Amino acid sequence: METKLAENIRFFRKQKSLTQEQLAEVLGVTVGAVHKWETRLSTPELNLITEMADFFDVSVDVLLGHEMRDNRLKATVERLAVYLKNEDPQGLAEAEKALKRFPHAFEVVYHGALIHMVFGGVKRDNSLLARARELLEEALILLPQNRDPRISDIGIHYLLSTIFVLQGKGEEAVSYLEKHNPEGFYDAEIGMVLALICKDTDKAQTFISAALIESVSKAVQTALSGAVAFVRKGDFRSAEDLLHWGIGVVDGVKKPEVTGFVDRSNSYLYLALAYTYSCSGRKEEAREMMKRAKQNAVRFDQAPNYDARSLRFVSGIDTYQMHEIISDTAMGSLKSLIGVLADEGLSGLWEDVKINEEADVI
């Protein structure tokens, strides 16, 4: 425990207008002893500390500079979170103290695990990593106590797999994640470990392909929903940039000369661009984007292809099919999306393009 004893001896001595020699005479010690106390070169014995406290008319706690620390559960967890955020090595000792005080409190066990994992990884210290693994397994048992929606068994399983990776146990990491991979949640992580550590490229490709399909779907959803949110806040530039990013992602995985599900996805993004331009007063550009949205939808509807192998980089997946539940046609989905956006300008533009423009295929 760190105290402010040295500083306080000096402070209270000067408060009484005493020299080091005079204080030494009062206490019956040498002036050298007082000098060492005030410069942290040595610490006075307990009986001298109590004698000084009486002489200075203060309590021993005040002379030591000791402040009572809040050791209740909430305050303890908050301190551990600060140690973790600052990557303070003192957090390791503090975590172990907290674990002795609250051995079955989820928050303490979880934060203690994270602290041991961080320093175990940085230092490549297997004993710290083993302790982190032990605590994470305990955290899974205590998970019903958790009240933080950001923490779940999914995240804890990922942390446990990461410990295997840090320990150089790639195959164990893959095996662990495969057992805890709901709806392909860890496909990207499994593919990465297989490719980088296990060097099993064939098996890795299967997981990487599934992860790629999912990431493209998420990119489309993110670009579309994010753009609508930006438009409704009046931030048209951000909406436009986000949609172009999404279109770039889709175009990057589309096989040339192959009509596939991504054409349908791009029709949604072009429609969102039409919405963005229409709301910002760029009518001609809005019309052009609406035409592109329609052309992509028509092209897909003329040759529907839900096979994931219409994407580049996808292999090892023979039966993976993508699906659309809004409508059985891309044109029907566009109409539904326009209804959801409920914008008169966009609806009028859709009717105008649908009636007056030829459905040219790009």
Q: Is 299 helix (H, G, I), strand (E, B) or coil?
A: helix
Domains of the chain from N-terminus onward = 5-64 (1.10.260.40), 73-202 (1.25.40.10), 212-356 (1.25.40)
- Encoded tokens for 191: 């593919």
DSSP at 137: H
Whose tokens are 């297989």? That residue is: 194
Q: What is the DSSP letter of 72?
A: S
Please list, in sequence order, all residues whose beta carbon lies within 8 angstroms of the beta carbon of residue 84, skipping any fewer than 6 positions away.
Answer: 91, 111, 114, 115, 118
**Where do we find the tokens 């470990």?**
193
Torsion of CA 197, 199, 205, 208, to 10 degrees: 10
Single pTM value for the model: 0.70
Q: What is the distance between the alpha carbons of residues 106 and 140, in angstroms, rounded to a whole number? A: 9
Q: Under 8 Å CB-to-CB from 30, ≥6 apart: which residues?
A: 24
pLDDT tens, the chain, 362 aa long = 457 889 999 999 999 999 999 999 999 999 999 999 999 999 999 999 999 999 999 888 888 876 656 778 999 999 999 999 999 999 999 999 999 999 999 999 999 999 999 999 999 999 999 999 999 999 999 999 999 999 999 999 999 999 999 999 999 999 999 999 988 899 999 999 999 999 999 999 999 998 998 899 899 999 999 999 999 999 999 999 999 999 999 999 998 888 888 888 899 999 999 999 999 999 999 999 999 999 999 989 998 888 887 888 988 776 555 556 567 888 999 999 999 998 888 998 888 887 665 544 34
> Quick count: other Cβ atoms within 10 Å of Cβ 210?
20
Structure-token pair, residue 208? 């990487």
Cβ contact 260:305 at 8 Å = yes
CB distance 227 to 279 below 8 Å: no
* Separation between Cα atoms, residue 111 and residue 291, nearest integer Å: 54
